[in-house]
Structure 1
Amino acid sequence: MPPRPQYGTKAHVIAALDAEPSPETSPTVGVDCSEDPLCQQMLDWTGNGWLAESSFWLIVKPFRILLILLVALLIRWAVHRMIKRLVRTSTHTSVPTILKPLRERIPNAPTDPTAVVPERRRQRAEAIGSVLRSAVTAVVFSIAVLLVLSELNFNLAPLLASAGIAGVALGFGAQSLVKDVLSGVFMLLEDQYGVGDTVDLGEATGVVEAVGLRITTVRDGRGVLWYIRNGEIIRVGNKSQGWAMVIVDMPIGFAGVEEATAVMRAAAAEVAADPDLAAHFVEPPDVLGVEQITVDGAVIRTVAKTTSDGQFDVGRELRRRLSEALDTSGITARIAAGRMFPRPAAGNGEADNRGGAT
């Protein structure tokens, strides 16, 4: 028979129990304090692993998240302040290159005092500043959210991979939208046109009523309002930037060129001396001379360099004064007398083949 177990005294039992290793308090949080200085310091101070690891979640993690948010707000405030200062200085002489129109970035480009409009530049700078501030806010807080999720032990690899796939899909599905927005941003940076400008965009020609990052609104001469996507604008003809050239071609028939030129120069000088129009002239009007020869005689060209705002008023008045001057001098009558028109049929039914002057 196997020997029966022998039970010792009570002292022997207590000694056996004391000899068995007691289970240590295992951490319930699952954080290695050796990787964090604050957790290790708490462990050294208290000697309690659970309290040290709990302090990691109650103190360290919230402190890091708060620090990330504060740094993000600080960066956003600093960049926004820099953008606002950039916008404020845009109406001064020393303008950063990024805010200068494209024609002003060319070295040794001729400057025209009528080409720079402070209010126009201020509006353009405000629009660019708004776009930049929105972009900075989106980028900074996107990075901050990713860092906060990382602090909460979220696995960011699947999230970033999904975001990359979604970005590629969005890029393929919204190519026209991205193209329109990018074209709008470059249009603002290069100051191609602005509200109130008279532009030729190909299909539509008229006055710009609104400019956005995706859509430009133009009202033509008939009152039709055109909505044009910025990505579809291939070329831009701006009739309101800087100065304009008014060109008037007047026929004089077979009258004397010297006589007609003298009459037209006197009329053009009167237009330039008009107090209501004098401020619109950049250079005095000039009668260049014979531009072309037609079957009706010579055509004399007159040009005038004006401001962009006054080109239409100057053009109308210049045509009116030149027409009146030619009529007063009798040159217009000689043009009409030199033209031949067919006579109507004779009363007896036979056609009158004799030509006649009218």
Structure 2
Amino acid sequence: MIAALLAQPTPDPSPTVGADCSADALCQQVFDWTGIPWLAESSFWIFVKPLRILLIFAIALLIRWILHRTIKRLVRTSTNTSVPTILKPLRERIPSAPADPTAVVPERRRQRAEAIGSVLRSTVTAVVFAIAGLLILSELNFNLAPLIASAGIAGVALGFGAQSLVKDVLSGIFMLLEDQYGVGDTVDLGEATGVVEAVGLRITTVRDGRGVLWYIRNGEIIRVGNKSQGWAMVIIDMPIGFAGVEEATSVMRAAAASVAEDADLAANLVEPPDVLGVEQITVDGAVIRTIVKTTADGQFEVGRELRRRLTEALDEAGITARIAATRMYPRPAAPNGEGDTRGGAT
């Protein structure tokens, strides 16, 4: 009998799953479909986890797309009259600010808005994908507490070690928001004075009158004198010696009026030139001041032309010759003490 039982073939055990899998609807459903216990018990990691990770990534892409689209729309509306306050230059946010005859042109505002939009898009991308990365690590059962703590410590260390870099970037962002200067502006930044060739978040590039290219960190700029925004005032002080003030003033006003009537210069004039009168008295005589209010771009051309015409007018009226006649120069001492050693007129 025992031999007969041993001779019978041993039946194969039927596949089964654990109690935890039987309580899981997904695990039980996969086992019913496939009949493979290990596949059923691993169904959560094989099917659910990848789907959750893909869903997090897809939501991150969607949020990034929505925010980028909003920023691009904000940039596109920057040249319209209804510009958001954040994109308006600082002087335009003041309700009582007077109307500027040469307000910021749309092209300048568009360039500034695009620079700000580029920074915002980069920031949005970094923040959205950083959060998505943390959520994905959480789905993979990583302990995020040590990671976040380490990131905080690293951030503090980086903040102490890169204070100048953070200062430069923050200064560059506020410079763009407030429209302190832009490419093509003539600025005075203290050590460097010239035309702005490039503006970045960390570095501003300025080329001075001698052709030297200056790289200035934004965090080191404590004052900005912009000669290219709004209008400019050209001030010219002309010496007339001891000639008649009324005569010289009349001659200079006629020359200044010819500048105002010049069709080639009319577009650069905000107000016609004005001869104010005697500004100061020196040992060489009186100095008469002339001023003219011009556009920012035309101040140099108008100033040079006005100086030329004032000089020619004084020369034609004979006033320049009288200035030279009043100047005194010391004469060299005569040899052996002979002759008059006092200064004389030339």
- TM-score, length-scaled by structure 2: 0.89
Distance 2:248 2:25 in 1: 102
Q: State the shift of 1:347 in Å.
A: 6.8
Cα shift at 1:93: 1.0
Aligned counterpart, 1:147: 135
2:260 to 272, 280, 301: 272
CA distance in 1, matches of 2:65, 2:17: 50
Residue deviations 1:29-48 (CA, integer Å, cap 9, x gap): xxx97xxxxx5566589799
CA deviations over 1:112-168 (Å, ceiling 9, x no partner)? 131311111111111100010000000000000000110111111111111111111
Structure 1 residue 319: deviation in Å?
Answer: 0.7
Aligned length: 328
Cα pair 2:30 2:43 within 8 Å, conserved: no
Please state if 1:70 is matched with 2:58: yes
How far the C-alpha of 1:229 sits from its partner, in A, is 0.6
Paired residue for 2:289? 301
Q: Is the 8 Å Cα contact of residues 334 and 341 (structure 2) preserved in structure 1? A: no
Task: Summarize the Cα distance change of 1:310–1:24 in structure 2 as closer, same or farther, 3 Å threshold.
Answer: closer
CA radius of gyration, larger in = 1
SS at match of 2:216: strand
Residue 283 (structure 2) pairs with residue 290 (structure 1)? no
**CA distance in structure 2 between the aligned counterparts of 1:142 and 1:113, rounded to whole angstroms:** 47
Q: Which amino acid aligns with 1:295?
A: V
Structure 1: tracts of 5 or more residues without a match: 1-22, 34-38
Among 199, 215, 229, the residue aligned to 1:227: 215
Check if 1:322 corresponds to 2:286.
no
Give the match's secondary structure for 2:42.
helix
Instruction: Give, in whole Å, the separation in 2 of the partners of 1:93 and 1:211.
Output: 25
**Quick check: 271-280 or 194-203, which moved more?**
271-280
Greater shift in the superposed pair: 179-188 or 109-118 = 109-118
- Cross-structure match for 1:15: none
- Per-residue deviation, residues 188-219 of structure 1 (Å, max 9, x unmatched): 11111111111111111111111111111111
Relative distance call for 1:135 and 1:336 in structure 2 (3 A) is: same
Deviation at 1:59, TM superposition (A): 2.6
Q: Residue type of the partner of 1:25?
A: G
Shift of 1:182: 0.7
Using the TM superposition, name which of 162-171 and 335-344 deviates more: 335-344
Q: Are 2:243 and 1:255 equivalent residues in the alignment? A: yes
Take 2:308 and 2:110, find their aligned partners in 1: how far apart are those partners?
38
Residues 250, 301 of structure 1: 8 Å contact kept: yes
Q: 2:298 aligns with which of 307, 310, 313?
A: 310
Kindly report which structure 2 residues correspond to 1:57-206, keeping only aligned pairs within 5 A, or say none. 57-206=45-194
Mapped partners of 1:94, 1:113: distance in 2: 19
* Kept in 2: contact 1:344–1:352 (CA 8 A): no
Q: Report the alpha carbon displacement of residue 344 of structure 1 after superposing the two structures with TM.
A: 3.7
Gaps of 5+ in 2: 1-15
- Match of 1:298, SS? strand
Q: Residue type matched to 1:307 in 2?
A: T
For residue 331 of structure 2, what is the amino acid of its counterpart?
Answer: R
Task: Please tell me the root mean square deviation across aligned C-alpha atoms, in Å.
Answer: 2.3
- Equivalent pair of 1:260/1:331 in contact (CA under 8 Å): yes
**Counterpart residue type for residue 61 of structure 2:** L
Cα distance in 1 between the residues matched to 2:339 and 2:222: 57
Which residue pairs with 2:3 in the alignment? none
**1:58–1:330 Cα change, 3 Å:** same
Structure 1 position 348, deviation (Å) = 6.9
CA contact (8 A) 2:112 2:179 kept: yes
TM-score norm. by structure 1 comes to 0.86
Cα offset, 1:353, TM superposition:
3.4
Are the counterparts in 1 of residues 255 and 310 from structure 2 also a CA contact under 8 Å? Answer: yes
Percent pairwise identity: 83
1:217 aligns with 2:217: no
Mapped to 2, the partners of 1:285 and 1:71 lie a distance apart of 64
Matched residue SS, 1:244: strand
